[in-house]
Amino acid sequence: MHDADTGPPSVRRGAPGVRPTSRDVARAAGVSQATVSLVLGGKWHGRVSERTAQTVRAAAGDLGYRPNLAARSLRLGATRTALLVVPALTHEYFARVYTGAARVADEHGFGVVLYPSPAGVGPARDPFGSARAAIDGVIASSMAADALSGIGDGGLPLVMLDSDPDVPGGPPTVNLAVADGMRQIARHLLGLGHRHIAHIAADVDTWTFRVRTEVVDTELAAAGLPPAARQRSGLDVATARDAAVRALSAPGPRPTALLCDGDIIAAGACKGARALGLRVPDDVSVSGFDDLSLASALDPELTTVRLPAEAIGERGMGALLALLAGRPAPAVELPLTLLARASTAPPP
């Protein structure tokens, strides 16, 4: 083990316009270039002491040193880049997933490229023409696994987030406990006394939304109630508003609660209720799913389920790194939390 338990000589940032090198870092930290490479490459555990690793990182930070990942890729025969495929770039949830994945990637000298494949059902176009030459692996969030077959000819290491964990021979999954989250919402509404519940369901054919539909019907059946009156909606406020108007205007007893597949859908449902002269929650309760910033910006604030978006990004990147290192990546399921706010109340 190469070590340096004496403090480093004085360290200062290099002259303007001069890019510091690993040799500069080694000189500043009082260690060899090999030690710098081990520490900054994340391969120092068991070979370099914690104190030395801290000294090297401090020296690199003070000098403003950044590894030349292009040169490192040529040496390793790898790009040290992961592709994160999501259905939408503008959705807050996926921005948080990216933040978590990028944080873990950066700790291991990797970068993450964010790529949208609208609707999540594919097939996704290979953004590089030949992804195998440009990236080391793929993380896909809230998509169908077969939608990724066109990226790198389906031959790249793949981790699925928020995806069916029971696909035989499928890729490793890091999932949210979607069924339990929807169960918490349904039981919350039932516990308030609602017996006429309409489900404003996302019109997207992916595992995560199929699970939500199944759980809603199961919970209502367990309470001795018929399946929920269901209206389909896009993942936008305008179509959700229209779906809520249809649900609240349909023949028969008017729903006393609108159970929505997402917070954006719930925002549209609130607009639909107001368009009919109904008050939330006095005349109709509304619930969401996601806990976006929007949920606490609405008035009244939205009852919803909080998703650990950054955590799923972190665990997804960790699973991909395990695959790249030849280690197993067991399935993971992260718990969700019900946040009961002012948009739900007992039925009128």
Structurally, at CATH architecture level, domain 178-307 sits in 3-Layer(aba) Sandwich (3.40)
Measured between alpha carbons, how far is 212 from 223 in angstroms, rounded to an integer? 17
Confidence of residue 151 (pLDDT cuts 50, 70, 90): low
Per-residue pLDDT tens digits for 211-229: 999 999 999 999 999 989 9
Confidence of residue 124 (pLDDT cuts 50, 70, 90): low
Confidence of residue 243 (pLDDT cuts 50, 70, 90): very high
Exposed/middle/buried for 129, CB within 10 Å: 0-12, 13-18, 19+?
exposed
Measured between alpha carbons, how far is 286 from 300 in angstroms, rounded to an integer? 10
Confidence of residue 322 (pLDDT cuts 50, 70, 90): very high
Confidence of residue 145 (pLDDT cuts 50, 70, 90): low
Under a CB-based contact definition with an 8 Å cutoff, are residues 120 and 204 in contact? yes
- Domains of the chain by residue range: 1-67, 74-173+309-331, 178-307
User: According to the model, what pLDDT value does residue 22 have?
Assistant: 79
Measured between alpha carbons, how far is 286 from 256 in angstroms, rounded to an integer? 9
**Minimum mean pLDDT among 118-122, 161-165, 200-204, 314-318: which range?**
118-122
Class of domain 1-67: mainly alpha
- Which parts of the chain are beta strand (E)? 81-86, 111-116, 137-141, 158-161, 173-176, 197-202, 229-233, 257-260, 285-287, 304-306, 332-334, 337-339
Under a CB-based contact definition with an 8 Å cutoff, are residues 257 and 198 in contact? yes
User: According to the model, what pLDDT value does residue 38 have?
Assistant: 77
Confidence of residue 131 (pLDDT cuts 50, 70, 90): very low
What integer best gives the mean pLDDT of the chain?
Answer: 85
Per CATH, 74-173+309-331 and 178-307 having the same topology is answered yes
CATH, domain range 74-173+309-331: 3.40.50.2300
Average pLDDT (332-344) is 97
**Minimum mean pLDDT among 34-38, 41-45, 176-180, 196-200: which range?**
41-45
Per-residue pLDDT tens digits for 50-59: 889 889 888 8
DSSP 59-101: HHHHHT----HHHHHHHHTS--EEEEEES-SS-HHHHHHHHHH
Whether the per-residue pLDDT at 3 is higher than 50: the answer is no
**Percent of the chain at pLDDT above 90?**
55
Confidence of residue 77 (pLDDT cuts 50, 70, 90): very low
